[in-house]
């Protein structure tokens, strides 16, 4: 038996999510590093509703909160697997040792900025609830147009599918699907070919990052596979924005590999609730809802009393 650490993406953000991170020596070092890299005033601004009004601000906040919230835990207990939902993959990559915190912060900044430049307005994403994936794909095909495509972008669960496209394309889907379509507070059409230019830009930047030995296995965003190859992680970080994210398949894979405990990094519990829906036989907890001692006990139970994988040999922030 084993456990996995999950990092949320956009949709989990809220003002104050950085300031509510538990203060301990490890999290303080991460936050101090963020302050030195982007400036203290900028970090404080990211933690406000104004900072979360932009794609780049939201993604930076989620990245910093994710890494800081698990820094103390992973300094002594490493998970068997890490998985990140969309931009959460960069926090997962830092935690498993594929990239440094500084490299991750730079990648997130550029990633968000290019997304904003590509589609400053007129695009977005929507969740289609209470419809199966097959039904959603049929509806998307029915309203699709060659000059204004709509894409299935994320499959979180069989009855929770996210689509991406222009405002017009999303409007056509809403007319067909009725009240099952909910617009998300996301201004860019992620995880579809609309963001191919983001993949190209990230590929260039990631090619300069050296490969390192991973501390634990990483679950790819671009296809439901695990890897301990750092270059495969870097390639996945580049490809992820422009391809469909099958979170349902990633969770199913982890369950098949023997994961019985899923722990979600801050700020929220969105992924925890998805795990409980998709894998009701497993245990899922959000770090925000348990004490460090309770979490350590759950991890030891999941590992049958065996120590978890090796902790970092050096600080990665």
pLDDT in tens, the chain (317 residues): 799 999 999 888 889 899 999 999 999 999 999 999 998 788 999 999 998 989 999 999 999 999 999 999 999 999 999 999 999 999 999 999 999 999 999 999 999 999 999 998 999 999 999 999 999 999 999 999 999 999 999 999 999 999 999 999 999 999 999 888 999 989 899 999 999 999 999 999 999 999 999 999 999 999 999 999 999 999 999 999 999 999 999 999 999 999 999 999 999 999 999 999 999 999 999 999 999 999 999 998 887 645 444 445 455 55
Q: Which fold has domain 2-118+193-302?
A: Malonyl-Coenzyme A Acyl Carrier Protein; domain 2 (3.40.366)
The 10 Å CB-count burial string (b at 16+, else e) for 68-97 is bbbbbbbbebbbbbbbbbbbbbbbbbbbbb
Kind of pairing between the strands at 217-219 and 226-227: antiparallel
Q: Determine the 3-state secondary structure of 82 from DSSP.
A: strand
How far apart, in whole angstroms, are the C-alpha atoms of residue 46 and residue 62?
10
| Residues present in the chain in total | 317
Residues 4, 285: Cα–Cα separation, whole Å: 11
Residue 120 dihedral angles phi and psi, to the nearest 5°: -65, -25
Report the predicted TM-score, pTM, of the whole model to 2 decimal places. 0.93
Local structure of 264: helix, strand or coil: strand
For 172-213, how does the pLDDT look when each residue is reduced to its tens digit (9 = 90+)? 999 999 888 999 989 899 999 999 999 999 999 999 999 999
Q: Residue 219: beta bridge partners?
A: 226
In the chain, what are the domain boundaries? 2-118+193-302, 123-183
- CATH number for the domain formed by residue range(s) 123-183: 3.30.70.3320
pLDDT 10s digits, 219-243: 999 999 999 999 999 999 999 999 9
Token digits for 88?
A: 């959460």
């Amino acid at each position: 038996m084993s456990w996995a650490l999950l990092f949320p993406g956009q949709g989990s953000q809220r003002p104050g999510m950085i300031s509510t991170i538990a203060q301990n020596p490890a999290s303080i070092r991460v936050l101090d590093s963020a302050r030195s890299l982007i400036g203290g005033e900028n970090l404080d601004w990211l933690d406000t509703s104004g900072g979360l009004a932009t794609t780049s601000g939201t993604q930076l906040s989620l990245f910093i909160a994710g890494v800081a919230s698990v820094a103390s835990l992973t300094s002594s207990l490493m998970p068997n697997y890490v998985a990140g939902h969309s931009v959460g993959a960069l926090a997962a990559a830092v935690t498993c040792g594929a990239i440094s915190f500084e490299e991750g912060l730079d990648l997130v900044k550029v990633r968000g900025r290019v997304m904003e430049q590509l589609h400053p307005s007129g695009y977005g994403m929507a969740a289609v609830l209470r419809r199966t994936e097959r039904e959603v794909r049929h509806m998307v095909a029915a309203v699709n147009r060659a000059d204004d495509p709509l894409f299935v972008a994320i499959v979180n669960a069989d009855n929770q599918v996210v689509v991406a496209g222009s405002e017009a394309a999303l409007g056509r889907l809403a007319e067909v699907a009725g009240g099952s379509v909910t617009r998300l507070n996301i201004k860019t059409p992620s995880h579809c070919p609309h963001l191919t230019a983001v993949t190209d830009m990230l590929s260039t930047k990631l090619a300069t990052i050296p490969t390192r030995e991973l501390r634990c296995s990483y679950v790819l965003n671009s296809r439901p596979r695990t890897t301990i190859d750092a270059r495969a992680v870097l390639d996945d970080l580049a490809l992820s924005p422009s391809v469909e994210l099958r979170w349902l398949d990633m969770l199913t894979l982890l369950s098949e590999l023997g994961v019985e405990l899923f722990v979600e990094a801050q700020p929220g519990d969105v992924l925890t609730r998805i795990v409980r829906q998709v894998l009701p036989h497993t245990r899922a907890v959000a770090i925000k809802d348990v004490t460090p001692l309770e979490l350590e006990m759950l991890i030891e139970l999941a590992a049958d009393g065996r120590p978890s994988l090796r902790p970092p040999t050096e600080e990665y922030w």
